Structure 1
Amino acid sequence: MSRAIQYQYDPKNLEKSAPAFYDESKLRSEEMILNLGPHHPSTHGVLRLEVVTDGEYIVDVVPHLGYLHRCFEKHAESLAFNQTIPYVDRMDYMAAMNSEHAYAMGVERMLGIDDRIPKRVEYIRVLVAELNRLASHFIAIGTYGLDIGAFTPFLWMMRDREHIQRLLEWASGARMLYNYIWIGGLYYDLPVGFEEKCMEFVNYLRPKLKELEGLIIYNKIFVERTANVGVLPLDLGINYGVSGPMLRGSGLKFDLRRVDNYSVYPELDFDVPVGKGEVGTVGDCWDRTYVRVAECWESLKIIDQSLEKLTKEHKRTRDFDPQALVPKKIRPKQMDFYVRAENPKGELGFFFRTDGRSDVPVRVKARACSFSNLSVLPEISRGVALADLIAIMGSIDVVMGEVDR
């Protein structure tokens, strides 16, 4: 039982008449455990955060996983290589094209046909992957606005993302889970007129992106909610295996499209944006969001160049077969092999173990970027206010289908 604090109110001497609990040195610390999620929208659906608080401040955060099992790895170990593509889509369902690209590229390298993929196929892959990167970043930026109390950015991002969804549905027949990039090629060539419609979208989006920067990135309230919050030091990010916009937000210019130079990315001109602490500290929530917006501009550059290549140098032909290189049974040699690619959220990797006899892999392991990025959450959340935890969580941009796999 606690005693009620007795004091006499004196309007002329507020300091003398203040109750004991106004003196912070006399406060008794009492920790409380809160559960955020797994159904609270601010924790991104199916993530449960066990939060230890002392008043309004975070003592510790423990993420609990396992609410959205995709069972990708066991599915992949029971199916032929070319039958696994639909399951790849369902990990990071916001960036299915990028995930398909990484998986197909890995199997092609094991087969030794990666240098024989037609240039038109490669440019189409890059085109649809960068469109999907834009769509993924739009979700990240829009829902982040919702997390910290702004509704308009979400509506704008969903409006512009819908144009991308319609383009990708036109090419593949599906809105989100595309099954479009196949081992050795593509499901089919781009529809007639796709390049022209895509260029119309690029011209439409440029002024919209400029409006977004003014609406959210340099908005005074947004800056105050995100600057100097959730600072991720570069060495800590590297130690935790953080990648993608989170790592680049901490100042490291590391992008696998440049580091590994896969597909036709070496032939394209684009920059790698990094956080610079423009309004706060390098590696804070603002820097991570800034990097995602800056990457949208770079994706537009890549899309522009890909469309030019597809319409001028690598035009569609009647005899074009997007699956000409692949045998009916895909049987790589006996080996252990790892491939990685730059997804919108970071480094997505696939490890394969094959026996050389079967078209079903012995072992498949996915290196999910969202899993590694989420693992650093406790380190950058201790000591912050409870309201800032949601701002930090939203700046990580996780998809739980990829975390739980």
Structure 2
Amino acid sequence: MTTSNYATERETTEGKVFTVTGGDWDEVVSGTDPINDERIVVNMGPQHPSTHGVLRLVLELEGETVREARSVVGYLHTGIEKNLEYRNWVQGSTFVTRMDYLSPLFNETAYALAVEKLLGITDDITERATTIRVLMMELNRVSSHLVWLATTAMELGAINMMLYGFREREYVLDIFETITGLRMNHAYVRPGGVAQDVPDDAIRKIRDFLKLMPKRLKEYENLLSGQPIWLERTQHVAVLDVTACMALGVTGPVLRSAGLAWDLRKTMPYCGYETYEFDVPTHTDGDVWGRYLVRVAEIRESLKLIEQAVDRLKPGPVMVSDKKIAWPAQLAIGVDGMGNSLEHVAKIMGQSMESLIHHFKLVTEGFRVPPGQVYVGIESPRGELGVHAVSDGGTRPYRVHYREPSFVNLQALPAMAEGGLIADVIAGGASLDPVMGGCDR
């Protein structure tokens, strides 16, 4: 029995069926005998839930045992990296934020750090802007891990956890909206600093969140950690040891759940992370259970970092002083929620010709970046998020390529799934925490 419901097919003169992954569907099914063989080839996905939206898995099954698994990506096909070549360096922030849409602030920060490195202004970023970046990224890490916890629990049958996880995530998104005007895809972290300052209302909300979240984490653990079905579905399931992780380039919580405390915030610090007090949680089993424990522990560590960042916020500018580069960060969130306060618009339109010219040139043309290429890596909720940026000296990127952890980590799925049960494919795939917006950028 074979099926290719989700394949994009075309017939050649030889009658061979090709798929979006390079024309191997015939080869996949040719080794099975539908009459005399116990094996079947089926598609799992792309669908929500189970395969996280637009991920397709081609599974060869013998009964309920997975004999072979293939990950098929490319269905989201956003083309963001190519689009960056046709936009200026400032506009790039509004594109990259939409890749891994569960951790947009990490996409923006990695891009901004790369552009700043090309410009040679890394040391010019203000202390307040750097602290705000850490604050926003750690809030985003908490919200991303909450989505993982909620959706993975739902896929394994713990529906209540879905409700609780998204309840707390809404709190974080409200904080983001107060600061940036948007719940997701903020384009808030810009080359040179951040788009606007953090208002006092947001600080009060963050401190309330820091008081609330430890209690809620205990509720999550009471709901899941001792639950027999949860233990049965996660312990000794989808095991990937540290050797396999290293061979496949797997990073993030999956690598740390196998025992290696590799976290770029510690090993290759950026944004002043070396000055913060926090631990890197690890586990040794390398299974779904270990990845669950690591992510819950990482939420607690992020809460520590958030509290330290809030305490460090000192008055000061949030954008570099060089007006040829600086985004007009004195913008305030207006009634449209998009950073267009009437007071600032009135100023640049009626009182300061220099501000008007600068604003117009920065938005339409952008700034020039010296020729060269750089690589910058940061620790996103899914692992190492790297940016390779190339400039030819113009106002637009020559090339920007992301080393995206969802894409890299997904190649571990066959190693985790083959030899296990088909039900464990769901648990193993979910434990990788793939976000296809980052994978198919």
2:135 match: secondary structure: helix
Out of 326, 331, 354, the residue aligned to residue 391 of structure 2 is 354
Aligned partners of 1:80 and 1:361 also within 8 Å: yes
Structure 1 residue 335 corresponds to structure 2 residue 408: no
Aligned partners of 2:253 and 2:295 also within 8 Å: yes
Out of 80, 92, 108, the residue aligned to residue 88 of structure 2 is 80
The AA in structure 1 aligned to 2:434 is V
Mapping of 1:244-393 within 5 angstroms?
A: 244-276=252-284, 282-310=285-313, 314-315=314-315, 317=316, 320=317, 322-325=319-322, 327=325, 328=362, 329-356=366-393, 358-393=394-429
Structure 1 residue 108 corresponds to structure 2 residue 116: yes
Consecutive unaligned residues of structure 2, counting only runs of 5 or more, are 1-35, 326-361
Further displaced range: 326-335 or 120-129: 326-335
The C-alpha deviation readout for 1:19-50, integer Å capped at 9, x for no partner, is xxxxxxxxx85110111111242111111111
Aligned partners of 1:49 and 1:61 also within 8 Å: yes
Mapping of 1:193-204 within 5 angstroms?
A: 193-204=201-212
Q: CA RMSD in A?
A: 1.3
Structure 1 residue 146 corresponds to structure 2 residue 183: no
1:81 match: secondary structure: coil
Q: 2:12 maps to which residue? A: none
1:359 match: secondary structure: coil
1:58 match: secondary structure: strand
The AA in structure 1 aligned to 2:259 is G
Structure 1 residue 209 corresponds to structure 2 residue 217: yes
**TM-score of the pair, normalised by structure 1:** 0.88
User: In the TM superposition, what is the alpha-carbon distance from 1:73 to its structure 2 partner?
Assistant: 1.0
User: In the TM superposition, what is the alpha-carbon distance from 1:218 to its structure 2 partner?
Assistant: 3.5
Out of 68, 81, 95, the residue aligned to residue 76 of structure 2 is 68
The C-alpha deviation readout for 1:49-78, integer Å capped at 9, x for no partner, is 111000110001111111101111101111
Question: Aligned partners of 1:62 and 1:338: how far apart in 2?
Answer: 30
Q: 1:53 maps to which residue? A: 61
Question: Aligned partners of 1:29 and 1:267: how far apart in 2?
Answer: 61
Further displaced range: 36-45 or 175-184: 36-45
Distance 1:156 1:40, change over 3 A: closer
The AA in structure 2 aligned to 1:99 is N
Question: Aligned partners of 2:406 and 2:169: how far apart in 1?
Answer: 21
**TM-score of the pair, normalised by structure 2:** 0.81
Aligned partners of 1:186 and 1:323 also within 8 Å: no
Q: 1:397 maps to which residue? A: 433
Aligned partners of 1:217 and 1:289 also within 8 Å: no
Consecutive unaligned residues of structure 1, counting only runs of 5 or more, are 1-27, 277-281
User: In the TM superposition, what is the alpha-carbon distance from 1:352 to its structure 2 partner?
Assistant: 1.4
The C-alpha deviation readout for 1:127-150, integer Å capped at 9, x for no partner, is 011001000000001100011111
Question: Aligned partners of 2:321 and 2:95: how far apart in 1?
Answer: 23
User: In the TM superposition, what is the alpha-carbon distance from 1:332 to its structure 2 partner?
Assistant: 2.6
Further displaced range: 37-46 or 163-172: 37-46
Aligned partners of 1:187 and 1:323 also within 8 Å: no
Question: Aligned partners of 2:129 and 2:75: how far apart in 1?
Answer: 37
The AA in structure 2 aligned to 1:301 is K
Aligned residues: 366
The C-alpha deviation readout for 1:340-369, integer Å capped at 9, x for no partner, is 11000111111112122x111212111110
The AA in structure 1 aligned to 2:406 is S
Aligned partners of 2:138 and 2:302 also within 8 Å: yes
Question: Aligned partners of 1:187 and 1:323: how far apart in 2?
Answer: 11
The C-alpha deviation readout for 1:166-222, integer Å capped at 9, x for no partner, is 000110011111111111011100112321221011101111111111212332221
